[in-house]
Structure 1
């Protein structure tokens, strides 16, 4: 059976007859004439090769096949009605909705506290569930609807997935307070002479700073590769190893350890983050609203980052 050739309104008629037990009552509920309902029932009988309903003293009695169909039909109609309601009638103060968003460390630590602070008071029924998703799974998950949104680096995506830049973040060098070779400033020779921590979810491969060094014909000694910035910041505070990371992530993770944050002594590109979503959700008012809240939140992060970066660079200039 080809679904594109089936009039889905027939199932609305089916559900009304099943619920009310009467063709006449179903017509009144649906604002249809009795002949129109009878014609729809005739088409359903042809479609399923079954009478579906039989007349009795109690009205139109469903056949065993109709009883087997009704739960799936009602579920499908309820989901469609819910989708239409969310699309046309979205009120954040009353809507109950759960969104699934893919993002990894430390994006969730950077975004979620400010996002939930923003939406909590105005949207008490909105729930957000975050998860780490392998980058190879982001595209199919967005297309199939198991993910509503994703936050990640620039990824190749098909036309069915939209993306928008949400953060452009400068990189900094982190060193412990009291580091014998790094005291308020760092030059390239000192940087290259130290051992480094590289944070990555991948097992191997170059980071942005390593690729920037390669372009200059230089390399550094990566002593430790780990997955989490929080752990790396604590390691920096207990060793003489350095770490190069995005400024906002460093500021957030550094609150408890108070390491030095210094400008990178060579040209390295900013970290660029993007928000991804299925283009079909552009008609979903609730999804549009959540995307707007994320964009506003990241704009706030970007503003704080710009101010703090200026202060760091000013301190570096003064100490020089």
Structure 2
């Protein structure tokens, strides 16, 4: 088929139906009537000689051909959008654009406050939307432009995803103020003798600290597994359970609890936190601006004091750095 015979608007409809799983919601997203969406879908089915979407209950489920088409279609639409946007300069002072960032909840409390303060000072009408995105979906969402950037530990992503290290964090242990066995100091034997909390969004599996302990043939007793560090910190304040967690968030989450925050009682390397973006927006003015805001807000915030400054430029190629591929 020749490109000149294809209405490119059909692919916008294809993307909307795929994303929304519904003709009705796709019509609302594109501000088109349902008959217009249905007509476009009919033309797409004729074009590819495939149903593309089949109804299951109230949802439109994609066929294997549709699933194979979605990524190249999204990349093409994103490239065209960026080309058109590139004709204009990005002026943060007058822009009302919204930026979508993916970051895990443990990073929200450390990164969002200084980032929002910086953005509001330089771009009062710009909005920030932070969301949790499954790591297996991260690359496709960055490629499609549904995410502008992501912040996470070191992840095994393709060469199309660029990254730079923005800070390092350490592992600490949190115990209640009047813990009967721990008063200001913590050795490994005492640590292993306690009952522990593991905070993780995963339903099963060990924490990073368990991997480090297993290298020495050691194991701890997990008495509680919960989803969020903040809830775990509260449990710590009202029990003798012990929590291991990232140091930066430990100081924020424990401000109201007064728990002791102690070094992890064995040598473990610090873990790196990275900013990720797709290669197709590396030179996009707006995307470059938001990356700079993230990097500068982290660098200038008091919580980053004492951490080695990252010298990699926001718009450069992928930085190398030591990190851990598992977080909560």
TM > 0.5: yes
CA displacement 1:22-47 (0-9 Å, x = unmatched): xxxxxxxxxxxxxxxxxxxxxxxxxx
Tell me the CA shift for residue 238 of structure 1.
Answer: 0.5
Q: CA 1:303–1:132 in 2, change beyond 3 Å: closer, same or farther?
A: closer
Question: SS state of the match for residue 283, structure 1?
Answer: coil
| 1:281-292 to 2 correspondences below 5 Å | 281-292=281-292
1:140 and 1:85 map into 2 onto residues whose CA distance is 21
> Which residue in 2 is equivalent to 1:279?
279
Tell me the CA shift for residue 88 of structure 1.
Answer: 4.3
Question: SS state of the match for residue 120, structure 1?
Answer: helix
2:216 matched to 1:216? yes
Tell me the CA shift for residue 165 of structure 1.
Answer: 1.2
| 1:110-149 to 2 correspondences below 5 Å | 110-149=110-149
1:181 and 1:212 map into 2 onto residues whose CA distance is 23
CA displacement 1:60-100 (0-9 Å, x = unmatched): xxxxxxxxxxxxxxxxxxx9688645664122101121111
2:108 and 2:4 map into 1 onto residues whose CA distance is 41
Choose 295-304 or 133-142, whichever is displaced more: 295-304
Q: CA RMSD in A?
A: 2.5
2:153 matched to 1:153? yes
> Which residue in 2 is equivalent to 1:250?
250
CA displacement 1:224-266 (0-9 Å, x = unmatched): 1111111111011001011111111100101110100111111
Question: SS state of the match for residue 141, structure 1?
Answer: helix
Tell me the CA shift for residue 152 of structure 1.
Answer: 1.3
Tell me the CA shift for residue 207 of structure 1.
Answer: 1.4
Tell me the CA shift for residue 143 of structure 1.
Answer: 1.3
2:305 and 2:244 map into 1 onto residues whose CA distance is 16
Decide which structure has greater helix share: 1
Contact 1:87 1:286 (C-alpha < 8 Å) held by counterparts: no
Contact 2:174 2:262 (C-alpha < 8 Å) held by counterparts: yes
1:87 and 1:155 map into 2 onto residues whose CA distance is 33
| 1:129-208 to 2 correspondences below 5 Å | 129-208=129-208
Q: CA 1:192–1:276 in 2, change beyond 3 Å: closer, same or farther?
A: same
1:304 and 1:288 map into 2 onto residues whose CA distance is 22
CA displacement 1:178-223 (0-9 Å, x = unmatched): 0000101111111000011111111122212111111111110011
Q: Aligned pair count?
A: 238
Q: CA 1:80–1:197 in 2, change beyond 3 Å: closer, same or farther?
A: same
1:87 and 1:302 map into 2 onto residues whose CA distance is 38
2:81 and 2:221 map into 1 onto residues whose CA distance is 59
Question: SS state of the match for residue 243, structure 1?
Answer: strand
Tell me the CA shift for residue 118 of structure 1.
Answer: 0.9
Q: CA 1:252–1:98 in 2, change beyond 3 Å: closer, same or farther?
A: same
